[in-house]
Amino acid sequence: MEIQLLKTLLTKDCYNSTKPRLRRSIFSDETGSLYNLLGETHSKYDTDITPDDLYGIWLSENPVATTSEIGDFRDTIDELKYADPITPDIATDIIENLWRREIGRDIANLGLNMSEGDLSAMTRLQSLLERTKDSYMPDNFGEPTTDDIYELLAETSDENRWKFNIETLARNVYGIGPSEFGIVFARPETGKSAFVISIVAGPGGFCQQGAKVLYLGNEEKTTRTKLRAIQACSGMTREQIADNPDLAMSKYLSIKDRLIMKDVQEWDLDTINSYCEKIKPDIIVVDQADKINIAGNYNASHERIRELYRSLRELAKRHDAALLGVSQASADAEGRTRIDFSMLEGSKTGKAAEADLIIGIGKHNGDGDDNSPNHDRFLNISKNKLSGYHGCVQCVILPEVSRYVE
């Protein structure tokens, strides 16, 4: 790579633009003398340089060089001549990275000198930091946020979001879009997974709208979840599917290629990030989000949860995908139809601070009047940066087919 860098630096413009960060120490002993010669030549001549130019200058400056020394330098020049140059922008980034590495090494050496009692090392360190502090950090920050009103409106329009297939919910909160992070939470046995399966795989759900959905499960096996998705899509109970699996699959084929499920019990965020790079989903569902592994040491569980949810939000932005995290509600939500994000289990503030949308699912405590299961559910929107609506939407769960309906 060093020879390729030197080939690129033969161009006067590239050399001048990178000169402030060029140092002899970023090159090895074999190529360092060639770099010195290149720098001296550029300082004398205001033009691009060729390898043959360097060879001629070297011969004129080393009239008593031995045949062996001349042969070695000729070999280096030939290697330079036939090397492929690096794209100038890439070469600039490489040189900046090498320069930062050398600055770090200088700081480390000065620190070592200080530990050995060199009193002047502190002054030299301060001088080094003063000289390099403004140029050490990258200065390419990209373009600022646009002022184009039409682009801003389009970016935040519901047309860019995937619509919830529960009409009463969609009228108040249309849906969720790229880079947006939502949380769905409820007490156990309320129907959290069924809600997500319904809006993903049910009629008019995200998959039927054309979204590619990645469903990451780290609680129950996703083979069960996939069967529930087939139920939601087909409207058939497990028994009906067992009696006529071909019919169920013929209905499921409409979304089969757009719903990917994966068991991720041992996965951490880095693995999830890599898988998202490969799959490139439009929507990511993490069921359940709290159980995702995250690297680092934390003094308390709420600190880990806060960092986890911050990282999940960054995951959504990094992949320009909508992300729905499924979470538990605390015991405060037991038997309540009206719940809010203060009833999230774990780091309540840490979770709520990161989310664009929080939907808590409430239900009545106990069965109906005739001792049959009570299927009424209450979708409580307690945080909503997407449409501003805060309130409750009532609907019904159909557990036999994993659907939520009005």
How much is the pTM?
Answer: 0.67
Report the share of the chain in percent with pLDDT over 90. 52
Mean pLDDT lowest for which of 41-55, 125-139, 178-192, 341-355?
Answer: 125-139
Residue linked to tokens 């605390």: 330
Give yes or no for residue 133 having a pLDDT over 70: no
Residue linked to tokens 């360190």: 125
Domain ranges of the chain: 2-136, 157-405
What pLDDT score does 135 carry?
59
Residue 264: pLDDT band (50, 70, 90) is very high
At 29 the three-state DSSP class reads helix
Q: How far apart are CA 269 and CA 254, in angstroms?
A: 31
What pLDDT score does 134 carry?
58
Residue 399: pLDDT band (50, 70, 90) is very high
CA atoms within 13 A on the CB side of 98: 20
How do residues 238-260 score in pLDDT, each as one tens digit?
999 999 999 999 999 999 999 99
What pLDDT score does 31 carry?
82
DSSP 116: T
What pLDDT score does 207 carry?
97
Helix axes 192-201, 222-234, angle to 10 degrees: 50
Distances in whole angstroms, Cα of residue 50 to Cα of each of 9, 56, 72, 230, 374: 10, 10, 18, 67, 83
Question: What residues have CB less than 8 Å from 81, skipping those under 6 apart?
Answer: 51, 52
* Of the candidates 213, 211, 240, 208, the residue with the CA atom closest to the CA atom of residue 225: 213
Classify domain 157-405 by CATH architecture: 3-Layer(aba) Sandwich (3.40)
CA atoms within 13 A on the CB side of 353: 12
Which range, 80-94, 105-119, 195-209, 299-313, has the best average confidence (pLDDT)?
195-209
Q: Quote the tokens at residue 252.
A: 């499921």
Average pLDDT over residues 114-121: 87
Mean pLDDT of the chain: 89
Give yes or no for residue 140 having a pLDDT over 80: no
Q: How far apart are CA 389 and CA 173, in angstroms?
A: 7
Helix axes 2-9, 29-44, angle to 10 degrees: 0
Residue 233: pLDDT band (50, 70, 90) is very high
| Contact status, residue 179 vs residue 321, Cβ threshold 8 Å | yes
Average pLDDT over residues 329-350: 90
Average pLDDT over residues 155-169: 90
